Amino acid sequence: MRIRIVDAFTDAPFTGNPAGVLLLPESTEFPDADWLQRVAAEVNLSETAFAHPLPPGGDADWALRWFTPATEVDMCGHATLATAHVLHTTGTATGTATGTVRFAARCGILSATPREDGAITLDFPTSPLTPVETPDGIAEALGARVISVHDTGPHIGDLVVELADEQTVRGLTPDIRALVRHSERGIIATAAADRPGLGYDFVSRGFFPRVGIDEDPVTGSAHTALAPFWASRLGTSLTGLQASARSGLVRTELRGERTLLTGHAVTVIDGELLTAP
């Protein structure tokens, strides 16, 4: 089986967020979860996506699952973008995908639509936001004053933590181990852009030690919460910059219960997995 590594939410190799993508042969089910987890641990990226084709005529074209090196997750944006990119470029033995591809995942039906500029738009469920009291110790763990905290609900299980400004987000050097106890999955630190004219409206960084990822380079799923968080202040069509060392841009459009996430992707490695399930 061919396995690819794709840099997502970027148009330049070695930036954005790398994901493993393994398109499985036509089957009615996935291999054993332990085997999927072992492959993801071997790839050792923030997520590896596994997909197999579904029979025609249903609600989705492909079944899709995502694994970090440590566990399976309910939702992943960048690995979905990477999978759609593979389907629309190198494709499978039966050819490349054209038009919208629909995925059946643990968080529901997702879709990926190619654009004329080469980007791909993902259609994801909007994460419900609930304001919560600032948890004791989270400011100390981040090393920054906290403005507000919102819970993101099921599927992503993060806390969106608003900080004072862009430079505070960029300069974070958090106590990663201390962050573990503060959310189901991770912490999304965010602030409005200091200079929106530079091409982005807000910044973020994502820390997910509970699922084996100290800092994720560009977290697509987090933008299903960041889009509604910033929409009331900045508008419903925004661009987020995830200010990790690799960095990446996510264009967002809030459409009520759905959020569109748009970005580019680049395949950087195309190889062969020699161990079958």
Structure tokens, 73: 């997750």
- Which residues are designated catalytic? 47
pLDDT in tens, 159-218: 999 999 999 999 999 999 999 888 788 999 999 999 988 999 999 999 999 888 999 999
Q: Determine the Cα–Cα distance for residues 149 and 151; give it in Å rounded to an integer.
A: 7
CB within 8 A of 82, min separation 6: which ones? 4, 6, 7, 8, 19, 21, 49, 265
- Write the DSSP assignment of 120-140 as a string of letters: EEEEEEPPP-EEEPPPTTHHH
Which pLDDT score, from 0 to 100, does residue 94 have?
75
- Its pTM stands at 0.95
Which pLDDT score, from 0 to 100, does residue 186 have?
92
pLDDT in tens, 28-61: 789 999 999 999 999 999 999 999 999 999 999 9
Mean pLDDT of the chain: 95
Which pLDDT score, from 0 to 100, does residue 200 have?
97
